[in-house]
Amino acid sequence: MIKQTERVMSSAYMQWAKTHLQARFNLASSGLEPLPLAELPVKIDNLELTGPSFYGYEPLQKALAKKCGVSPDCVVAATGTSMANHLAMAATLRPGDEALIEQPTYELLVSTAQYLGAKVKRFTRSFEDGFRLDPNEVARAASTRTRLIILTNLHNPSSALARNEALKQLGKIAREVGARVLVDEVYLDALFDDAPSTAFHLGEEFITTNSLTKVYGLSGLRCGWVLAEPALAKKLWYLNDLFGVIPAHAAERLSCIALEHLDEIAAHARRLLETNRRLLNAFFNARDDLDWMPLNFGTVAFPRLKNGSVDALCALLLEKYETSIVPGKFFDMPQHFRIGIGCETAMLAEALARLSKALFDISARPYPRSARAGNSFSLRWPAKRERRGQKRPQRERSK
Ligand SMILES: Cc1ncc(COP(=O)(O)O)c(C=O)c1O
């Protein structure tokens, strides 16, 4: 446990992610499979190494502003949503300020706020409530010390959508206590034509962040941005002089090309996600060893393992089945795990088959003593699909 007074200098989650996303069957990624460069109509003449990029590269500023329906002076280009979040937090949080962050959430939001010296307070989005954004929870936790309310939309890890009515109520709460609302919208475009416009439009207290990373398979471009009212946007640009100063110009040029072709890229992503969601929901439907919600949009789901250890499941899945999922402990919900569905459909089908096998294996293992007080060893009856034709295992006597 990190004490509030300690300055966080690293991210356990990011270290885990960087060393586990290379599994042969990767369900740990939250984004779309990478789009190969060959899919973009790029000619060498379109690229240049150095260009007029100081407080933004004008063609990219204009393209991002057009995409978001805002004026270019509200756009601050950044290296991925990661740097966009860092900039937004660094500009609005001073050491000792309170950051009120959803629970569960993307770990980097918490560790970045802690790195900046903020006191982190949490408000709950509960599994039982479909991870819904409940403004009453936020109101209960907010105080006059709160400077920033932070959430993800779609929600990482569950893909739950926070609707405008709830977000507006957050804006009202923030106004009352003199805070702002930071909405990380890196998964919002996964709603495609049904996506609501950015929460930036809901009021001056809203700051939003996004990138082309997750929904479009363009992680390598690192094309991210913050939307903020112009005075704050200027502050962010000046703050960025202390961090990245200027980005790689070739990446800016490539980002402009990607933005010109975003509709085609989105059409591919949409088709893939729709197919993969059907597959995932069919997998969930066949299981009675998981608590789950159907995935209606988004790229990730966050089921709960009814019995047994998720850490043991993850380890077995990786070692025996070369498949990775994200353990729920990185979201402070150790009985859950996150499944990403942005990979190719055949890969997802195989990975889910392997997950089934690993779930079967761990269901046949005795419970660890710690999991069942007073009844330390027993056998679980496996999931519906796998138990056909099998005899029910005998319960071992408690030791
Ligand atoms: C909620 C959220 N924000 C930001 C990021 C990082 O995005 P990017 O790759 O654009 O820096 C992630 C990555 O998983 C994420 O889940």
pLDDT digits (tens, 9 = 90+) for 37-87: 999 999 999 999 999 999 999 999 999 999 999 999 999 999 999 999 999
The model's pLDDT over 163-196, given as tens digits with 9 standing for 90+, comes to: 999 999 999 999 999 999 999 999 999 999 999 9
pLDDT, tens only, 359-372: 999 998 654 444 43
Q: With beta carbons less than 8 A apart as the criterion, state whether 151 and 105 touch.
A: yes
Q: How far does the centroid of ligand 1 lie from the alpha carbon of residue 10, in Å?
A: 16
Mean pLDDT of the chain, nearest integer? 91
Q: Is the distance from the beta carbon of residue 209 to the nearest atom of ligand 1 less than 6 Å? A: no
Please state, in angstroms and rounded to a whole number, the distance separating the CA atoms of residues 291 and 43: 49
DSSP class per residue in 75-141: EEEEEHHHHHHHHHHHHH--TT-EEEEEES--HHHHHHHHHTTPEEEEEE--GGGTT---HHHHHHH
Residue nearest to atom 15 of ligand 1 (CA): 106
- The answer, yes or no, to whether any atom of ligand 1 lies below 6 A from the CB of 82, is yes
User: What is the per-residue pLDDT across 296-354, written as a single tens digit (0 to 9) for each?
Assistant: 999 999 999 999 999 999 999 999 999 999 999 999 999 999 999 999 999 999 999 99
**Ligand 1 pocket test: which of 13, 89, 108, 218 has the largest number of ligand atoms within 8 Å of its C-beta?**
108
Tell the residue number behind the tokens 């471009």, with chain if given. Answer: 221
Give the H or E element holding residue 291.
strand 290-291
The token duo for 374 is 């007073």
- Binding site membership of 299 for ligand 1 (Cβ less than 6 Å): no
Q: Which of 26, 81, 161, 326 to mutate to test the pocket of ligand 1 (most atoms within 8 A of CB)?
A: 81
Q: How confident is the model at residue 4 (pLDDT cuts 50, 70, 90)?
A: low
* pLDDT confidence bin for 21, thresholds 50/70/90: confident
DSSP string, 322-356: -EE-EEGGGGT-TTBEEEE--S-HHHHHHHHHHHH
**Structure confidence at residue 22 (pLDDT):** 83
Is the pLDDT reported for residue 397 higher than 60?
no
Query: Cβ(53) to ligand 1 under 6 A?
Result: no
Q: In the predicted model, is pLDDT for residue 374 greater than 80?
A: no
Could you report the per-residue pLDDT of 231-290, keeping only the tens digit for each?
999 999 999 999 988 999 999 999 999 999 999 999 999 999 999 999 999 999 999 999
| pLDDT tens column, 107-131 | 999 999 999 999 999 999 999 999 9
pLDDT of residue 5: 58
pLDDT value for 398: 32
Band the pLDDT of 7: cuts 50, 70, 90.
confident
